[in-house]
Amino acid sequence: MPALFTHFDLKIPEPTFASPLTDLIIELDHLRKKQIGGTTPPRIFFQLKKIFHLLESIGSARIEGNNTTIAEYVEHKIQPEANGRGSESITEIENAEAAMNFIDQVIDENAVIDKSIIFELHKRTVNGLSA
């Protein structure tokens, strides 16, 4: 049986100028233009970034019902052939990491996120998964 489409009108929030939400929007817009810099050595920064990507990937998979633990995933990364759980649950997390790496490599501040980029992200996210 085909899915039925139900139309819902979307409502765009219009906060007043006195709203705290307006202040947050303006602050976020200001922060968007700031140059990122710091005292963290690049090697350590990129190691931390990789760890956060790993945690984001596991968190994303959790939303989809994946129960792989951080320890299981790290064990798989250290010894892929020894870990018997080289299943779709691991592939799902690896795919999310691959999609984030793709974003880091391809998307810059002037990039236009169009249909082809969305299709490529989807392809990388579901690669090797059965359902």
pLDDT tens track for 57-86: 999 999 999 999 999 999 998 887 765 546
Q: Which residue type occupies 62?
A: R
Q: Which tokens hold the place of 97? A: 């990491």
> Exposure of 57 by Cβ count < 10 A (0-12 exposed, 13-18 middle, 19+ buried)?
buried
| Residue located via tokens 């409502």 | 11
Say whether pLDDT at 7 is over 80: yes
Which value, to the nearest 10 degrees, does the dihedral of the CA atoms of residues 11, 112, 29, 23 take?
0
Q: What is the reported pTM?
A: 0.67
**Distance from C-alpha of 57 to C-alpha of 39, rounded to nearest angstrom:** 27
pLDDT tens track for 53-65: 999 999 999 999 9
| Residue located via tokens 């592939």 | 91
| Residue located via tokens 């006195």 | 18
Which value, to the nearest 10 degrees, does the dihedral of the CA atoms of residues 76, 82, 88, 89 take?
-40
Q: Which tokens hold the place of 86? A: 């080289």
**Distance from C-alpha of 77 to C-alpha of 85, rounded to nearest angstrom:** 11
